[in-house]
A and B are shown apart, each in its own frame.
Chain A
Amino acid sequence: MKNLIYIFSILIILSCSSDPEIDTNLLDSVEILDSSLLNPENYLVSAKYPNPTEEEKNKKVIIAVHGFSASTFEWDELRRFIENRNIDTVLLSQVLLGGHGRSYEEFKASSYEDWQESIKAEYDKLIALGFTDITLVGSSTGCPLILDLLNIKYFGKELKEVFLIDPIIVPSDKMLSIVGVAGPILGYVESDLSEGEEKYWYKYRPYETLKELNSLIIKVRKQLEDNLGIGDVKMTVYKSLKDDAADPVSAVLLYKGIKTNYGKINVEMIDSDLHVFTRLDLRPTVSEKDKSNQFKVFADITNFAYIR
């Protein structure tokens, strides 16, 4: 019996996986980069308007932050929503999180502080350029990254409003809580992507990054337990009722944990089973309800007037 235990232990040690074989058609490869790295002026307001006019400075700038292992693609539909409706009162900055949209190796080596860096960088540039009205929009992991910055009062009075879409505070996959133990054995986790998504999401998630994700959400959850104050900043949380990545109970923790100068934040539970229900491109199936959910939230974010 004793020998069996030793053999089993040695097998566990030997089973520690190395890195995956990466095809060149994947975002994980060095061949495919997020478009914002090649053409930042198409994605970042700070790059598009290096010398903004007074009128441009007073427009509302939306900084859109994508989720874990995703890319700027996650907010492309918001850009199209703004362009197709000629909404000229807002400007959109789609930031690419650090370590994302590059390669598996760069992702593996990145920490959540690295992911956060691009949000800080774009905000700082916009402030330096004189923009006065900033809104943050986050999806999934983008949300705890924003919340962590709100907790340290990183943003100034220019930040007026925050929208969080399917924030991950409690993961749906509870095995994330033992990533420190199981991670070194697994090495990486392969995600199940739909056709076409492999160019915009990392297919392989190194355990090091899952560990970072776990550290981030534990940190933010504790901040929420201790009261996360956001002052006068308006906040709205939208949360799918069923979600295989961010547990719906995440919304409860936000509702209880965020303190403002005006009362409780606004939380809306959305009848959807999609994670990041505002991204419909490349979904295998999209219902009318999904389209209506997306439209409503995009209209709220951009202050687009419509008859409900």
Chain B
Amino acid sequence: MKKYIILLAFIYLINTSISLSEETESINEKSILSVGPIINKSVGLYWSNGFLVNYTPNNLKRLSYGFRFHTTRLGSAISSNAIQQENYILNVAYEFLKYENYQSSVILNAGYFYSDYESDIFKDIPNSTMTLALELSQSFSIYNLSFGYNFIHGDGSNGIGTLYPFYFQFGMKIPIKEYIK
């Protein structure tokens, strides 16, 4: 029961903070190209790390595009027997709440996932798949925290067993180039 009380308190705090802020409707004055590291934690399984590239065009108020790559080779599989796997993702993000200091976004991800089983014994188990995920994301300045759901995940008969449905992701978007029209 204690965790539900904490949940209610959390919902209340978020609502309060939203009601105190004022949404910004201004169009981006610049197009921004950002890069940064990402840390991904699959709920119940591996850590994987990598990078993101993000582009926010100035002519679209709330849309941005990006590419992400993360791998367990830079995470759980470093000096351990965790399976080495890679995730390549293209995404489009829509900012449904946009404030001066933070933004809330919904992100659609599509990509490719590969898992290295390192032996022919496992040649009959699927080791690569297309991915499709939906993510809720909260940005504070250059910091970004997301919670996502993989629509395509393993179920024992289809898909890859180490592709789990839920994940958290922390990232940084460091602007490296700005374009003024």
Q: Which residues of A contact B (CB under 8 A)?
A: 2, 5-6, 9, 12-13, 170, 172-178, 184, 214, 218, 224-227, 241-253, 255-257, 267-269, 273
B161→A170 contact, CB < 8 A: yes
Q: How far is the CA of A242 from the CA of B156 in the complex (A)?
A: 6
A273→B157 contact, CB < 8 A: yes
B44→A5 contact, CB < 8 A: no
A174→B125 contact, CB < 8 A: no
Q: Is B180 an interface residue (CB 8 A)?
A: no
- State which of B24-32, B76-84, B93-101 sits at the interface with chain A: B76-84
B162 to chain A, nearest CB (A): 6
A246→B125 contact, CB < 8 A: no
> What number of B residues sit within 8 Å (CB to CB) of A?
35
Q: Which residues of chain B have C-beta atoms less than 8 A from A253's C-beta?
A: 81, 83
9 more contacts with CB within 8 A, not counting A9-B4, A252-B122, A268-B121, are A6-B11, A12-B4, A174-B155, A245-B156, A247-B156, A251-B121, A252-B125, A253-B81, A267-B121
10 A-B pairs closest in CB distance: A177-B44, A172-B156, A249-B161, A247-B161, A225-B80, A256-B81, A257-B81, A242-B157, A243-B156, A247-B156
Q: Is B17 an interface residue (CB 8 A)?
A: no
B155→A173 contact, CB < 8 A: yes
B68 to chain A, nearest CB (A): 21
Q: Which residues of chain A have C-beta atoms less than 8 A from B154's C-beta?
A: 170, 172, 174, 247, 249
Q: How far is the CA of A268 from the CA of B19 in the complex (A)?
A: 59
Residue of B nearest to A227 (CB): B81
A189 to chain B, nearest CB (A): 16
B162→A225 contact, CB < 8 A: no
Main secondary structure on chain A at its contact with chain B? helix
Residue of B nearest to A222 (CB): B80
Residue of A nearest to B8 (CB): A9
Main secondary structure on chain B at its contact with chain A? loop
* The one of B81, B125, B157 that contacts A269, using a Cβ cutoff of 8 Å: B125
A158 to chain B, nearest CB (A): 28
Q: Is B67 an interface residue (CB 8 A)?
A: no
B41 to chain A, nearest CB (A): 11
Q: Is B117 an interface residue (CB 8 A)?
A: yes
B124→A241 contact, CB < 8 A: yes
A156 to chain B, nearest CB (A): 26
A256→B155 contact, CB < 8 A: no
Residue among A172, A227, A252 with the highest chain B CB neighbour number at 10 A: A252
* The one of B82, B115, B119 that contacts A225, using a Cβ cutoff of 8 Å: B82
Q: Which residues of chain A have C-beta atoms less than 8 A from B156's C-beta?
A: 172-173, 242-248
Pairs A–B under 8 Å by Cβ, sample size 14: A9-B4, A170-B162, A172-B155, A172-B157, A174-B165, A214-B44, A225-B80, A227-B81, A248-B161, A249-B83, A249-B122, A249-B125, A252-B118, A252-B125
